[in-house]
Amino acid sequence: MTPENRADFEVLLGDLCAGFNVPSSSRLEAYWQGLEKMPLAMFGRVVKFALGENGPEKIPTAPQCWRISHALRTSYQAPQPPANVDERAADFEPWDMVANRHLHEEVKSMAALGHFSGTEYRGHGVDLVLSASGVRTMATLRSWSAEWARTMKLADDDERADGGLELWRNCMKRAREEIEARA
């Protein structure tokens, strides 16, 4: 913690002491020195745990606060996806990430060439204000991007040799043909 955190630390320590019905003023400096290397957010988690249903019977000392913080870190489990989610959807596939990068670049280049009305092109990114036709265009591009990702997931190593760039170009060519046919 830093000196700027002192006021917030005092509030948390006050809450901890109040929860155990002990005065905080006499403990303030000892806890500040003993816990100065603990991040304030972690101390907040320690206080919440200590005051919770599984907390200790007596106010934890500074070393006990450290042990609680270590236990909280090691007991953390990453959230699990909901049980009703298709297992394939729970993991974002690497080819989906590549498809998103390719799609982002495609949209940037199309925006730079004026293919979207109301587009503000900034070079490093694209801010789109889409008309109804622009929404249909994006849906078509996303659809062909997803098709590319599905194909790459099923492709063998020979088909993936160029990273799927030839297939990506063909998918985007077909997407543009579909977009132009609607216009």
Query: Nearest to residue 104, comparing CAs of 75, 60, 145?
Result: 145
| SS (HEC) of 84-143 | CCCHHHHCCCHHHHHHHHHHHHHHHHHHHCCCCCCCEECCCCEECCCCHHHHHHHHHHHH
Does the global pTM surpass 0.85?
A: no
Per-residue pLDDT of the chain (183 residues; tens, 9 = 90+): 888 888 999 999 999 999 999 988 888 999 999 999 999 889 999 999 999 888 899 999 999 999 998 888 776 555 555 555 555 454 557 888 888 888 888 887 777 666 665 544 444 455 555 666 777 888 888 889 888 888 888 877 776 777 788 888 888 999 889 888 887
b/e per residue, 106-129, with b = 16+ CB within 10 A? Answer: bbbebbeeeebeebebeeeebebe
β-pairing, 126-127 vs 120-121, is antiparallel
Query: Nearest to residue 177, comparing CAs of 151, 141, 145, 153?
Result: 141
Q: How many residues are given for the chain?
A: 183
